[in-house]
C-alpha cells in the first residue's frame, strides 16, 4: 500500500486560482492592494452577510495587531486573552507593550469561560486597571459562548476582538463567526479552511474604521504629495496575487466546509464504540462548527494515552497533534496573570487533533481507520 504521509490539515485548489493570478500579472497589478483585493473583500463582505467591512491583510496575526492598534491599546494596558489558543492570538498584545491576562476555558466549547472572564475583569478593576480588550477565540472552528461572553463585555464596556482565524464558515445562532466582535479576524494561512498562501482579514462594522485599518496597514501615509507620516505605519496589506488565490479558494469554501464536517462524522462513527475516547461535538444546534480540525479527548487507562495513540499514527506516517498548549503554560507568557483552574490544562493533557484536511481521500480515511481500530483492538 502507498504509504505517503497524511497531513493534519492541507488545503485544496479550486482550479480558478490560476486565472485570478494570471489576471493580476497581465494587468501588472502584482503589488499590494487593487482589483483582486477589492473583489476578495467584497466577496467576504457578502459572505458574512452582515454590516461587515473587511480589510484584506497579509496575515491573521497582523489583523489582531491592527485591531489592538485601532482600539488604542498602549504600553502598560491590560488585554484579556483566552489561554487555550495558538500563540498568534496573544503575541500582538506584547507587540504593543501591553500586558496579557489569561483566562481559562469551559468544557462545553473549550473556549473562554464566562465565569473566569468576569472574575478576571472584576479583579483587574479592583487592582486599578480595567482591561482594554478581550480576545476570544473560536478554537478549532467551534464557536465560543457568544451571548454570555458579549453580555459580560457589554456590562463592563470592554471591546471584543473575535479571533475567528480557524472559524471561517462557522456560525452561532445562524450568524457567521467573524461578525460578532468589535473587531473580528480571519486567517488564510496554508493550514486553514481556505488559504491565500499567507493572509488574513480584519472585520469591523464601519467604513470609516475599515479606511483607518487600511491607512495603518499601508504605512500610515498622510495626505500629502511627498511621504508624510504622523503615526506609526505597518506593511500589512494583502498582495493582489494572494487575493487572487483567495478568490479562487472562496469558490470551494462551501465544499471544504462540507468535507470537514463529513470528516468529523467519520471520526464520530469510528469512536462511537471505543470506550474512553470522545470526539468533540457542538453542544446544541446554536453552535455550528466548520470542524476545521476534528479533535478527541483520550482518557488514559492501561497503556492507552493520548501520546501512545499519537505514536501509533506517526508509525503509519499519519500526522496528528496535541491540542494547543495553553498560553499561561508557555515560557514566554508564564509571568503574566492567569484566572482559572485546570480546565485548559487538562484538555491539553488529553486532547488530540486528527487529520482533517478537505483533501483526505477514501484511501487516506481507510488507513486512518485501520490505525485506530488496530490500536484499540490490541489493548
Residue nearest to ligand PLP (CB): 60
Contacts of 329 (CB under 8 A, 6+ apart): 345, 348
State which residue, 200 or 326, has the beta carbon closest to ligand PLP. Answer: 200
State which residue, 56 or 137, has the beta carbon closest to ligand PLP. Answer: 137
State which residue, 168 or 298, has the beta carbon closest to ligand PLP. Answer: 168
Q: How far is the CB of 376 from ligand PLP (least distance, A)?
A: 30
The candidate with the shortest Cα–Cα distance to 268, out of 291, 243, 299, is 291
Q: How far is the CB of 165 from ligand PLP (least distance, A)?
A: 3
State which residue, 159 or 196, has the beta carbon closest to ligand PLP. Answer: 196
State which residue, 168 or 304, has the beta carbon closest to ligand PLP. Answer: 168
Q: Is the separation of the CB atoms in 196 and 188 below 8 Å? A: yes
Q: How far is the CB of 125 from ligand PLP (least distance, A)?
A: 27
What is the residue whose three cell numbers read 508564564? 334
Q: How far is the CB of 59 from ligand PLP (least distance, A)?
A: 3
Q: How far is the CB of 369 from ligand PLP (least distance, A)?
A: 27
The candidate with the shortest Cα–Cα distance to 56, out of 192, 213, 251, 250, is 213
Interacting residues with ligand PLP (CB under 6 A): 59-61, 85-86, 88-89, 137, 163, 165-166, 187, 189, 200
Residue 205, number of CB atoms within 10 A of its CB: 15
Task: Kindly provide the residue ranges of all beta strands, DSSP E only, lying in the chain, ordered along the sequence.
Answer: 53-57, 78-82, 99-103, 133-137, 159-163, 171-172, 175-176, 183-187, 200-204, 277-279, 287-288, 294-298, 321-322, 338-339, 351-354
Amino acid at each position: 500500500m502507498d504509504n505517503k504521509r497524511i497531513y493534519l490539515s492541507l488545503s485544496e485548489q479550486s482550479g480558478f486560482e490560476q486565472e485570478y493570478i494570471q489576471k493580476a500579472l497581465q494587468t501588472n497589478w502584482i503589488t499590494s492592494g487593487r482589483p483582486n483585493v477589492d473583489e476578495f473583500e467584497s466577496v467576504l463582505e457578502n459572505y458574512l452577510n452582515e454590516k461587515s467591512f473587511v480589510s484584506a491583510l497579509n496575515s491573521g496575526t497582523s489583523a489582531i495587531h491592527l485591531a489592538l492598534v485601532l482600539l488604542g491599546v498602549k504600553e502598560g494596558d491590560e488585554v484579556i486573552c483566552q489561554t487555550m489558543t495558538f500563540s498568534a492570538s496573544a503575541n500582538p498584545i506584547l507587540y504593543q507593550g501591553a500586558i496579557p491576562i489569561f483566562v481559562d476555558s469551559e468544557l462545553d466549547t473549550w473556549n473562554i469561560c464566562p465565569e473566569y472572564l468576569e472574575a478576571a475583569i472584576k479583579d483587574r478593576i479592583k487592582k486599578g486597571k480595567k482591561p482594554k480588550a478581550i480576545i476570544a477565540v473560536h478554537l478549532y472552528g467551534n464557536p465560543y459562548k457568544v451571548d454570555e461572553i458579549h453580555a459580560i463585555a457589554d456590562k463592563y464596556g470592554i471591546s471584543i476582538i473575535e479571533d475567528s482565524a480557524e472559524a471561517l464558515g462557522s456560525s452561532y445562532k445562524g450568524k457567521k463567526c467573524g461578525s460578532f466582535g468589535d473587531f473580528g479576524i480571519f486567517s488564510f494561512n496554508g493550514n486553514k479552511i481556505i488559504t491565500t498562501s499567507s493572509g488574513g482579514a480584519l472585520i469591523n462594522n464601519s467604513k470609516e474604521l475599515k479606511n483607518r485599518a487600511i491607512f495603518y496597514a499601508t504605512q500610515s501615509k498622510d495626505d500629502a504629495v511627498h511621504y508624510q507620516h504622523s503615526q506609526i505605519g505597518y506593511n500589512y496589506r494583502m498582495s493582489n496575487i494572494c487575493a487572487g488565490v483567495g478568490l479562487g479558494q472562496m469558490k470551494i469554501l462551501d465544499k471544504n466546509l462540507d468535507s470537514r464536517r463529513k470528516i468529523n462524522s467519520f471520526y464520530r462513527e469510528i469512536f462511537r464504540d471505543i470506550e474512553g475516547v470522545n470526539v468533540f461535538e457542538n453542544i446544541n444546534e446554536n453552535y455550528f462548527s466548520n470542524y476545521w480540525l476534528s479533535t478527541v479527548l483520550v482518557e488514559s487507562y492501561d497503556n492507552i494515552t493520548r501520546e501512545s495513540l499519537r505514536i501509533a499514527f506517526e508509525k503509519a506516517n499519519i500526522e496528528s497533534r496535541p491540542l494547543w498548549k495553553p498560553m499561561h503554560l508557555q515560557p514566554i507568557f508564564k509571568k503574566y496573570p492567569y484566572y482559572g483552574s485546570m480546565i485548559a490544562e487538562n484538555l491539553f493533557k488529553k486532547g488530540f487533533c486528527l487529520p482533517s484536511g478537505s483533501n483526505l481521500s477514501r484511501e487516506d480515511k481507510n488507513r486512518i481507520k485501520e490505525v485506530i481500530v488496530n490500536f484499540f483492538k490490541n489493548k
